Homo-oligomer: A and B are copies of this chain.
Amino acid sequence: MKIVITGGTGFLGLMLARALIKRGRLTAPSGKQAEIDEILLFDVAAPPTRPAGLDTRVKIATGEISDAARIASLIDRDDIGIFHLASVVSGEGEQNFDLALRVNLDGTRVLLEAARARGSKPRLVFASSIAVFGGEGMPASVGDAVKQTPQTTYGVTKAIGELLVNDYSRKGFIDGRSVRLPTIIIRPGKPNKAASSFASGVFREPLSGVDCALPVTLDAVMPVSGYRTAVENMIRLYELPAEKLGNDRAVGLPSLDVTVGQMVESLKRVAGNRHLGEITVAPDPFIQKIVAGWPVATNFRRATSLGLAADESLDPIVRGYIEDFLS
């Protein structure tokens, strides 16, 4: 079977591709396990050099997710599975409303239509976000039954995506699932335009000997998940039989609710004798406002009951990052 990963050359897309290569098989639209013979990483631009850890099964294609003809040309087999990660992120969406709607809303619709057009009812995992929550009515702890009143355009497009994935699934056009991601740490490389980008930077920059200025205060709380766990959960959610999900296909992932101060403590604990860049606090009102609108605590009883994985604590996440990217 073929796997398409949109946003595929991004960090999570690449980690997912590597995990799928290692795994070798997935459930096909037929309901049976099938060998993966192609993984297509689709993204708006290709990386300058081919990322490591990808074998010849992995192909890279570029284009606009909102380009219906282009997307239809990629969803070219009935035995296909789709992971839809392509997205404008939170900070960028606040700065460019029209781009967020085109990529996140139009793009998702284009992809859902291409999947529907196959007629084989392919499984599709849509990457949603805890940014679907927010607003005056948000309870202290959010969960799968909480009303979504997002306070960023990014969050709005994710909430709309969840609704569309539910309805395309209800109508039998696809077999969709939405995975509501907390902030995923620790992303290697450069900061991105997500308002949560500092939650990786606070580890990544100091570990590379680079100073890091935090745009929020140390008492800011964020629900986070390690990337290994997040990738594992995307695959587990893909593999779950539809009947286990019922008629709400969107599942909030387990997360650790941690303060930024706890992130710094974990970094120092795990880093041991490594030389660390300096961490300073330099609040940025734009970032602070976005992050303050997100939930600070989540319950993930449904995810746990569905067999999704959870991180034990921050320390193994930091150790995993050092192992994967700094060894």
Contacts and interface: CB of A to CB of B under 8 A. Distances in A.
Nearest to A250: B149
A130 interface: no
Given A160-B160, A246-B136, A248-B137, A171 B147 contact: no
A145 B135 CA distance: 11
Given A97-B171, A171-B97, A163 B137 contact: no
A151 B170 CA distance: 8
Given A136-B247, A136-B248, A160-B163, A171 B148 contact: no
Interface in A106-152: 109, 135-137, 144-151
15 contacts: A135-B248, A145-B147, A146-B147, A147-B147, A147-B148, A148-B148, A148-B163, A150-B167, A151-B170, A153-B167, A156-B167, A159-B163, A160-B160, A160-B163, A160-B164
A101 B167 CA distance: 11
A166 interface: yes
Given A135-B246, A160-B160, 11 more contacts: A135-B248, A137-B248, A145-B147, A147-B147, A147-B148, A148-B148, A149-B166, A149-B248, A151-B247, A153-B171, A156-B164
A170 B150 CA distance: 10
Interface residues of A, number: 27
A150 B248 CA distance: 9
Nearest to A302: B137
A150 B159 CA distance: 13
B167 A163 contact: no
A166 B156 contact: yes
Contacts of A109: 101
A149 B97 contact: no
A317 to B, nearest CB: 30
Contacts of A145: 137, 147
A109 B150 CA distance: 18
A305 B210 CA distance: 54
A309 to B, nearest CB: 23
A57 to B, nearest CB: 35
Contacts of A144: 137
Nearest to A148: B147
Contacts of A136: 246-248
Nearest to A146: B147
Q: 7 nearest interchain CB pairs?
A: A156-B167, A147-B147, A135-B247, A149-B248, A136-B246, A156-B163, A160-B160
A31 to B, nearest CB: 23
Interface string A68-91: 000000000000000000000000
Interface string A154-181: 0010011001101100110000000000
A307 B234 CA distance: 46
